[in-house]
């Protein structure tokens, strides 16, 4: 099950043969179909997070025109409990890179959100594959098979070798965008999911045939579309930002505790929002005779921790490494991590500066986040989590009406907290006596709780 390579027709034919051999062995030699089906599923899942790691090094930025379109948050896609729009798309516009290891290319922080996307996709695939395969395969027992375990290790090793040889060795990272790197692995996996649903009626053999057919189709498409790429052609990066080349007359940094607390809060929300996927994975494992405790730890512990941890890191990189400066007549956001200017706004171009009332952590830590709009340009810029906010307003000449938060409706806050605490207590109480009911309640109740909490917080905020 070699991965695609566009080097020559010989490599393509070898790849085809490597994927046909297991199918022939199952149909004519009595090999275990369920073993190979699980191994193919592991390969599809493993390829996605590896694509996310590759995306970290992609030198070309994501579609800049798309990132420059104004963002319109809705209750279904907003990253905020409040009205401010400071989120992951800010990091996607991050300029500069960081060299972690001298033997590897630099890492671009702007690509971290794509890694989160890849891990989220991998978690979804785990849930879907476990749920589907467990209908006719004892997945836990198959995973415990030494052959499958060895195959999983070899897949990881082969992915490392492939990335080292083709992505780094041939310098494909120089002409890659993070979106393109991830989309190829995602497309193959989701095509496999669709085909698997229809082929599952054939049991383990049907699942194996589905995986092999999808794999061969994707290999053929990769080979057909493969063209030689000049590594020096079309190198791209986000356009540089011109900032006054003078020492800053004032600097204000975000409060580290407020940034970390907000990052953790965002991570928890993202982790909880994936509840239905964790539930599907839990059903798949428990249906395959896995222990309830082990399934719960994996599905409601490890998977949410992976999503929440990456979301936390993403937010810290978005706001925690910035310093806001006044240089001549401009407000400058400078990134200490990448040692690059991120954006510049002339003071005279600031049309409005609004206090973000909906920042929960700012209220708890007595910090402030301001949303800046300009006379030119479509994007809002955020000056986030400042403890020295009065100094910032004065130094940057921000036209802020007030830096004092309006009063919350404590009745709404108290009611939401009480309902949330009762919901968590109910799930914990059911976990020992009725684990299935508790898993369903956690899977669907978590995302519903996030939406309900967001709505309650909006109601509690002072009227505009």
Number of domain units in the chain: 2
Query: How far is Cα 301 from Cα 294, in angstroms, rounded to an integer?
Result: 10
239 Ramachandran zone, left/alpha/beta (phi>0; psi -120 to 50): beta
Q: Is the pLDDT of residue 288 over 60?
A: no
Closest CA to 12 of 185, 225, 161: 225
Asked if the structure places residue 37 within a domain, the reply is: yes
Q: Is the pLDDT of residue 28 over 90?
A: no
Q: Is the pLDDT of residue 358 over 70?
A: yes
- What's the confidence (pLDDT) of residue 385? 95
Query: How far is Cα 348 from Cα 332, in angstroms, rounded to an integer?
Result: 13
Token pair, residue 93, equals 């516009």
Q: What is the 3-state secondary structure (H, E, C) of the chain?
A: CCCCCCCCHHHHHHHHHHHHHHHHHHHHCCCCHHHHHHHHHHHHHHHHHHHHHHHHCCCCCCCHHHHCCCCCCCCCCCCCCCCCCCCHHHHHCCCCCECCCCCCCCECHHHHHHHHHHHHHHHHHHHHHHHHHCCCCCHHHHHCCHHHHHHHHHHHHHHHHHHHHHHHHCCHHHHCCHHHHHHHHHHHHHHHHHHHHHHHHHHHHHHHHHHHHHHHHHHHHHHHHCCCCCCCCCCCCCCCCCCCCCCCCEEECECHHHHHHHHHHHHHHHHHHCHHHHHHHHHHHHHCCCCHHHHHHHHHHHHHHHHHHHHHHHHHHHHHCEEEEEECCEEEEEECCCCEEEEEEEHHHEEEEEECCCCHHHHHHCCEEEEEEECCCCCCEEEEEECCHHHHHHHHCCCCCCCCCCCCCHHHHHHHHHHHHHHHHHHHHHHHHCHHHHHHHHHHHHHHHHHHHHHHHHHHCCCC
160 Ramachandran zone, left/alpha/beta (phi>0; psi -120 to 50): alpha
Asked if the structure places residue 292 within a domain, the reply is: no
Q: What is the mean pLDDT of the chain?
A: 79
Asked if the structure places residue 333 within a domain, the reply is: no
Asked if the structure places residue 239 within a domain, the reply is: no
- What's the confidence (pLDDT) of residue 223? 59
Asked if the structure places residue 188 within a domain, the reply is: yes
What is the share, in percent, of the chain residues with pLDDT greater than 90?
19
What is the share, in percent, of the chain residues with pLDDT greater than 70?
79
The single residue listed with the structure tokens 């407020």 is 258
Asked if the structure places residue 218 within a domain, the reply is: yes
Query: How far is Cα 454 from Cα 461, in angstroms, rounded to an integer?
Result: 11
Query: How far is Cα 342 from Cα 90, in angstroms, rounded to an integer?
Result: 10
Q: Is the pLDDT of residue 7 over 50?
A: no
Domain end position, chosen among 212, 232, 252: 232
- Which of 76-90, 131-145, 165-179 is least confident? 76-90
Asked if the structure places residue 449 within a domain, the reply is: yes
According to DSSP, the residues that pair with 330 across neighbouring strands are 327, 346
Domain end position, chosen among 179, 208, 232: 232
Q: Is the pLDDT of residue 131 over 70?
A: yes
Q: What is the extent of the structural domain holding 415?
A: 410-460
> Which pTM does this prediction carry?
0.79
The single residue listed with the structure tokens 């059911």 is 430
Asked if the structure places residue 119 within a domain, the reply is: yes
Query: How far is Cα 407 from Cα 207, in angstroms, rounded to an integer?
Result: 58
Domain end position, chosen among 201, 232, 263: 232
Length of the chain: 464
According to DSSP, the residues that pair with 381 across neighbouring strands are 372
Compute CA 96 distance to the chain's CA centroid, rounded to the nearest angstrom.
20
pLDDT per residue as tens digits for the range 29-72: 666 777 777 877 888 888 888 888 999 998 888 765 555 444 44
């Amino acid at each position: 099950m070699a991965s695609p390579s566009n080097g020559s027709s010989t490599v393509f034919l070898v790849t085809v043969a490597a994927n046909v051999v297991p199918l022939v062995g199952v149909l004519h030699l009595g090999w275990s179909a369920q073993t190979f089906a699980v191994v193919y599923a592991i390969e599809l899942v493993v390829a996605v997070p590896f694509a996310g790691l590759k995306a970290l090094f992609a030198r070309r930025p994501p579609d800049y025109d798309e990132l420059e379109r104004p963002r319109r948050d809705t209750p279904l896609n907003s990253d905020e409990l409040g009205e401010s729009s400071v989120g992951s798309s800010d990091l996607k516009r991050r300029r500069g890179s960081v060299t972690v290891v001298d033997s590897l290319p630099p890492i671009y922080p702007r690509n971290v959100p794509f890694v989160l996307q890849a891990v989220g996709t991998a978690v979804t695939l785990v849930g879907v594959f476990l749920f589907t395969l467990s209908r006719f395969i004892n997945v836990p027992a198959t995973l415990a098979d030494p052959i499958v375990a060895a195959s999983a290790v070899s897949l990881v090793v082969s992915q490392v070798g492939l990335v080292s040889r083709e992505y780094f060795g041939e310098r494909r990272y120089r002409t890659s965008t993070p979106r393109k790197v991830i989309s190829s692995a995602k497309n193959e996996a989701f095509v496999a999911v669709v085909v698997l649903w229809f082929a599952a009626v054939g049991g383990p053999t049907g699942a194996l045939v589905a995986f092999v057919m999808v794999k061969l189709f994707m290999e053929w498409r990769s080979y057909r579309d493969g063209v030689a790429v000049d590594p020096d052609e079309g190198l791209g990066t986000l356009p540089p930002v011109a900032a006054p080349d003078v020492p800053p007359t004032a600097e204000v940094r975000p409060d580290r505790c407020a940034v970390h607390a907000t990052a953790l809060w965002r991570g928890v929300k993202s982790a909880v929002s994936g509840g239905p996927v964790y539930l599907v994975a839990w059903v798949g494992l428990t249906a395959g005779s896995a222990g309830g405790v082990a399934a719960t730890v994996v599905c409601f512990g490890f998977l949410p921790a992976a999503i929440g941890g990456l979301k936390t890191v993403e937010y810290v990189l978005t706001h925690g490494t910035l310093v806001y400066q006044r240089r001549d007549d401009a407000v400058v956001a400078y990134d200490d991590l990448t040692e690059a200017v991120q954006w510049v706004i002339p003071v005279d171009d600031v049309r409005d500066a609004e206090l973000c009332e909906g920042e929960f952590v700012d209220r708890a830590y007595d910090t402030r986040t301001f949303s800046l709009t300009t006379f030119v340009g479509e994007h809002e810029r955020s000056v986030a989590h400042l403890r020295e906010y009065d100094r910032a307003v004065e130094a940057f000449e921000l036209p802020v009406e007030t830096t004092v938060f309006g009063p919350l409706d404590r009745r709404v806050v108290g009611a939401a907290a009480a309902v949330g605490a009762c919901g968590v207590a109910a799930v914990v109480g059911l976990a020992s006596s009725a684990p299935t009911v508790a898993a369903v309640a956690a899977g669907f109740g978590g995302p519903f709780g996030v939406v309900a909490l967001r709505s309650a917080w909006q109601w509690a905020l002072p009227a505009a």
